[in-house]
Amino acid sequence: MKAAIIGGGVIGGGWAARFLLNGWDVTVFDPDPEAERKIGEVLANARRALPALYDRALPSEGTLRFTDDMADAVKGADWVQESVPERLDIKHKVLAELDRHAPAEAIIASSTSGFKPSELTEKGARCIVAHPFNPVYLLPLIELVGDADTCGAAQAVLREVGFYPLHVRKEIDAHIADRFLEAVWREALWLVTDGIATTEEIDEAIRMGFGLRWAQMGLFETYRVAGGEAGMKHFMAQFGPCLTFPWTKLMDVPEFTDELVDLIAGQSDAQSGHMSIRELERLRDDNLVGIMRALKHSGSGAGGVISAHEAKLAQAGMPVTLDRRIPQGWTDYNGHMNETHYLEAGSKATDRFMEMVGADAAYIAGGLSYFTVENHVRYLAEAHAGDRLKAETRLLDGEGKKLHLFHTLTRGDGTEVATVETFLLHVDLNTRKTCLPSEAVQTALKEVAEAQAGQPVPEGAGKVGR
Amino acid sequence: MKAAIIGGGVIGGGWAARFLLNGWDVTVFDPDPEAERKIGEVLANARRALPALYDRALPSEGTLRFTDDMADAVKGADWVQESVPERLDIKHKVLAELDRHAPAEAIIASSTSGFKPSELTEKGARCIVAHPFNPVYLLPLIELVGDADTCGAAQAVLREVGFYPLHVRKEIDAHIADRFLEAVWREALWLVTDGIATTEEIDEAIRMGFGLRWAQMGLFETYRVAGGEAGMKHFMAQFGPCLTFPWTKLMDVPEFTDELVDLIAGQSDAQSGHMSIRELERLRDDNLVGIMRALKHSGSGAGGVISAHEAKLAQAGMPVTLDRRIPQGWTDYNGHMNETHYLEAGSKATDRFMEMVGADAAYIAGGLSYFTVENHVRYLAEAHAGDRLKAETRLLDGEGKKLHLFHTLTRGDGTEVATVETFLLHVDLNTRKTCLPSEAVQTALKEVAEAQAGQPVPEGAGKVGR
C-alpha cells in the first residue's frame, strides 16, 4: 500500500510515520527545504514509541521518498493526506491538483481542524476530512467527516494502521473534539487573564483529576458512574440547574428540557447499559490504577504524587523485604497472579535488600550496582488481586562480587506461594564489568550473614526441575 | 489521627475511605439510615483499588464508627469534612454546629463544588473549601480555597494521605477544574441537542484523543509541545485568531492581547522551561505508551483499539514464539531491561506456544489451561528500550500433564540475551487440579516433539547456579 503525504511538519510527519511503521510506502511532497529533517525527527520519535504499544512486531517498515512534484507524489497512491497550512485558498489549490493527479480509487483526505468538507469541496475537488491528533503516530482518534461512502472505505483503511476512525455524522465547525478543546482553552485564558490560576496550576487541576478519568471513559460514562444506581436521569436532574450558574464565563447555554434529558439518558443506556454501575465503577478504578501505576515509571502527574506518598510509607525491617497488595493488573487469563509478577515481587525484594545493605539509589547514582545473572522461581500456590504479599529474604552468599538471595513469598493467610532464588554480580555501571562492592556494602553483607548464620539451606535452593 | 465525616454518600464515603486506609480513625455523621451500607460499598471499592497503587503496604486501617450526634462525631477530630447537600442554608446550619463542637485546632473543610469560602463563612463559622474529585479514594486532586494559613496547614495533612492539594489563589465560582468540566458539559449538550454526536461518540472523541494527553500533561504543557521549538508564543500566535471563530457555541471570549500572550508564555516557561521540547515530546510519548499499555489489560478505550490491531499483526511460526520491541516501561535504574521483563517475554512466548498447540483462548475459556510450576531464567546480555526481542522455543517434554519448554531470547543484533526454562502442568480450571490435556493438544505436542527430535539439549537446561 502507498500513501502520499502532502505537507510535512508535525502533522504530516505523524501521518507519514504511522503509515511507514505499518509497512506502507510513503512519498512526501513539501516545498519546505527543511521537510526531510523535520519528518526525520518525527519519525525518530515514532520509531521509539509506536512499536512499544504492541506485544508483537509491526510489519517491516515501508520506504520513504521525498519529491517536489505533486503529480509524482500521488502516483499509485491508495491514500493521499493533505496537511498544508490552514488557509482555504491554499487548500483549494492543492486539493484541485491532488484530485487531478491521484488515482480515481485513491482516498483524498484533509487534516484540517478548521474547515468543513463542504468548504473544502466547494470548488469541485473530491475530499473528506480525516482530522488527527498530535502525536499522530500514537493517538488513535481520527475524526472522519464528509461523503458517507468514502468515509466508510476510509474507516477500513485507517483501522489497518491502528487508528480509531470516528465518523462525524453532521459537519460542524472544528468537528467534535476541538470544540471541547476550544471551550476549555477559552475558559483557561479567562482564568489566567483574571489571575485566578497560572498555566501550571491549570495543568495540575486537569492531570491530577478529571484528565485521569477522561483517558479511559470520557465525559458521559464518567457521569453515568457518578450518578450511581439512580442513573443518568438523576445525574442530569442534579446538574441541570447549574447551566444557569456562572460556573464558566462561556454562557451560550442549551435549554435544559425533558426531551434533552431523555435523549441523553437513552443514548447513555445504549452506550453503557450492558454494565451495572458497580461493574463500571470497578472498571473505572482498575483503569485509574493502571494509568497511575504507568505514570509512576516517569513520575509525571499522579505518578509522582503516588511515589512521593509511597516513600513516606513505613517499610518492615530485615528479613521482611516486601509487604504489599497484588494489583489487578498483575493477574492473567487463568484468574490468578501471572508468573511474571512473582518474579517482579522477588525483584522488588532484591531492590529492598540492596537498599538495606547500602546499595541504594545514591550508591547506584555513584556508578555501582548489582546485575542479576540468574533467577529460579518455584510456584507453590495461587495468589489473587488484592491479596497481601510478603517476602522474607535469606542471604545465601554475599562474598566478593557475588550476591545469592533466596526470597520466600507468602500471601496474607500465611500460605507460601513461591520462592525466588536469585544470583547477582556486583558491577561498575560505567564499564558494565564486575567489580567488588564498596567496603560499607561488604561489611553490611557480613553482618546480615552473621545474623542469619546457622539457619538451614532453604528447601528448593539450587535445584531445577521437580 | 481522627477524621469526622459529615454527610456520607459517594463523596463523604470517598473521604472516609481515603482516611481509613491511611490509618486514620473515622467517625461518620449522616442521618440517612442507608449511610452505613452506602459507605460500606464505597469502602469495598477503595479497599480493592487504593492499595494497588502502591508497591508498599499502607498502614493498618483505622476504626470506622457511625454516630447520629454531630458533637460526638467531631470530638477530638483533627479534620472535619462536610459533604452535605449543595444548599447554602443547610451548609450554614451544619458549619455553625461544626465550628461550635470541633476542637479549636481542627481543620473544618467543605467538599462544595458550587460555593465559595466567602459564602460558606458569611455567618461567621470557620471553614475552608477542600473540593475532591470522584473517586475520592483514588484521584489525587483536592482544590483548597480560603484562608491562606488554614490552607497551608491543610495541604500538609492532605499530602499525608496521598492527595495533591492545589491551593486556588483567588476564590471563584466552581473553583478551577469544574469550570472546565462545565464548559465541556455545555458544549457537549449542544452537540447532542443539535444531533451532531451521541453520548458514546463524544466519549470516544475524548478518550481516544486528548483525554490521553490530559491524564499526564494537562492543557498548556501539551500545547507547548505542539508549538515545537518555536515555543509557546508561536503556538499562541497560531491559535489566537480562532477565539473569534465559531469553534464552540460558548462565546464570551477574553481579548487576545500581547500582554496575555506574554503572561502565558512566561508562565509556561516557568512551568516547563527546564526541559527541551524534544525531552517533553519523549516524556509525553513514554507516558502515552504507558497509559495505553495499562488500558490493554481491561480493553477500555485506546487499549481495546491496540489489542484489536495487534490481533491482526502477523506472527512468526514455530519455533519463533515471540517477536517484539522492548518498551520504555520495561527498563530500570540500571539503564537496561529489568530482570522481570525477561520472564515476561518468556511468559508471552509460552502463551504463544500454547496457542500454537491448540491451548488457546477458546481452550482456556472451555476450562482447561496450563499453570507454571517453575521458571529458570539465565541473564546473558543486556537489552535496552527499543531493541527488537525474539524468542525461539524448544519443547523438552510434552508427555502427559507435563509441559517443559526452553525459550532462547535474542535481541535484534542476534546476541543471545537470556534463556527461560519453564515447567508447566496441565490443569482443570474448575477444580484447579492437574489433568491430561485434550487429545488434540496431545497430538499437536507430539508433532512438535517429532519435528524437533534429535536436537541436543540446550546448554543451561536443568542447572541452577553457574
The predicted-structure confidence for A32-62, as pLDDT tens digits, reads as follows: 999 999 999 999 999 999 999 999 999 999 9
**Residue A32, CA distances (Å) to A9, A14, B69, B192 in order:** 9, 16, 74, 41
Check: complex ipTM more than 0.85: yes
**Residue B329, CA distances (Å) to B132, B283, B288, B332 in order:** 30, 12, 11, 8
User: Which of A254, A288, A300 shows the shortest C-beta gap to B283?
Assistant: A300
CATH number at residue B87: 3.40.50.720
Domain final residue pick, B185, B213, B241: B213
A432-448 per-position pLDDT tens digit = 999 999 999 999 999 99
Question: How many Å apart are CA B61 and CA B338, to the nearest integer?
Answer: 33
Q: Is residue B351 part of a domain?
A: yes
Angle between helices B35-49 and A277-298 in degrees, nearest 10: 40
Please, what is the end-to-end C-alpha distance for chain A in angstroms? 52
Give kind and range of the element (H or E) at residue A312. helix A301-312
* A202–B372 C-beta distance less than 8 A: no
Q: Is residue A107 part of a domain?
A: yes
The pair phi, psi for residue A375, each rounded to 5°, is -135, 145
Same domain, B113 and B135: yes
Confidence (pLDDT) at B466: 45
Q: Is residue A411 part of a domain?
A: yes
Question: How many Å apart are CA B255 and CA A1, to the nearest integer?
Answer: 48
Question: How many Å apart are CA A10 and CA A13, to the nearest integer?
Answer: 5
| pTM recorded for the entire structure | 0.91
Same domain, A276 and A408: no
Confidence (pLDDT) at A277: 83
Alpha-carbon gap: A19 to the closest alpha carbon of chain B (Å)? 14
Same domain, B26 and B142: yes
How many structural domains are present in chain A? 3
* DSSP symbol at A166: E
Q: Is residue A150 part of a domain?
A: yes
Q: Which of A50, A72, A68 is nearest to A59 (CA)?
A: A50
Confidence (pLDDT) at A246: 64
Q: Is residue B251 part of a domain?
A: no
Give kind and range of the element (H or E) at residue B204. helix B199-205
Q: Which of B389, B289, B277, B278 is nearest to B344 (CA)?
A: B389
CATH number at residue B369: 3.10.129.10
Same domain, B322 and B392: yes
Q: Is residue B208 part of a domain?
A: yes
Same domain, A161 and A194: no
Same domain, B170 and B185: no
The cell for A79 is: 491514500
Q: Is residue B203 part of a domain?
A: yes
Q: What is the mean pLDDT of residues A402-413?
A: 96
Same domain, B10 and B112: yes
Burial of A74-92, coded b for 16+ CB within 10 Å and e otherwise, reads bbebbbbbbbbebeeeebb
Is B75:B101 a contact under the CB 8 Å cutoff?
A: yes
Residues of chain A contacting residue B270, judged by C-beta atoms under 8 Å apart: 198, 200
Q: Is residue A382 part of a domain?
A: yes
Burial of A366-394, coded b for 16+ CB within 10 Å and e otherwise, reads eebbbbbbbbbbbbbeebebbbebbbbbb
Residues of chain B contacting residue A141, judged by C-beta atoms under 8 Å apart: 204-205, 208-209
Share above pLDDT 70 across residues of chain A, in percent, rounded to a whole number: 97
Same domain, B135 and B186: no
Q: Which of B213, B190, B192, B210 is nearest to B201 (CA)?
A: B192
User: Which of B45, B198, B271 shows the shortest C-beta gap to A199?
Assistant: B271
Secondary structure class of A52 (helix, strand, coil): helix
Same domain, A143 and A215: no
Confidence (pLDDT) at B253: 64
Domain final residue pick, A160, A175, A190: A175
Same domain, B328 and B194: no
Alpha-carbon gap: B101 to the closest alpha carbon of chain A (Å)? 31
* pLDDT above 60 for A465: no
* A466–B423 C-beta distance less than 8 A: yes
Output the CA torsion sign for A186, A189, A193, A195.
positive
- E strands present in B7-53: 25-29
Q: Which domain holds residue B9?
A: 2-175
A262-321 per-position pLDDT tens digit = 887 888 888 888 888 888 888 999 999 999 999 999 999 999 999 999 998 988 788 999
Is A391:A316 a contact under the CB 8 Å cutoff?
A: no
Same domain, B23 and B149: yes
User: Which of A189, A271, A404 shows the shortest C-beta gap to B200?
Assistant: A271
Is A27:A65 a contact under the CB 8 Å cutoff?
A: yes
User: Which of A216, A281, A339 shows the shortest C-beta gap to B372?
Assistant: A339
Same domain, A37 and A77: yes
Confidence (pLDDT) at B239: 73
Confidence (pLDDT) at B351: 96
Residues of chain B contacting residue A135, judged by C-beta atoms under 8 Å apart: 281, 284-285, 288
Domain final residue pick, A121, A147, A175: A175
* pLDDT above 50 for A466: no
Residues of chain B contacting residue A241, judged by C-beta atoms under 8 Å apart: none
Output the CA torsion sign for A443, A444, A446, A450.
positive
pLDDT digit string (tens) for chain B, length 466 residues? 999 999 988 999 999 999 999 999 999 999 999 999 999 999 999 999 999 999 999 999 999 999 999 999 999 999 999 999 999 999 999 999 999 999 999 999 999 999 999 999 999 999 999 999 999 999 999 999 999 999 999 999 999 999 999 999 999 999 999 999 989 988 898 899 889 999 999 999 999 999 999 999 999 898 888 877 777 777 777 777 777 666 666 666 667 778 877 887 888 888 888 888 888 888 999 999 999 999 999 999 999 999 999 998 988 788 999 999 999 999 999 999 999 999 999 999 999 999 999 999 999 999 999 999 999 999 999 999 999 999 999 999 999 999 999 999 999 999 999 999 999 999 999 999 999 999 999 999 999 999 999 999 898 888 765 4
Residues 6+ apart with CB under 8 A from A20: A26, A43, A61, A62, A64
A348-377 per-position pLDDT tens digit = 999 999 999 999 999 999 999 999 999 999
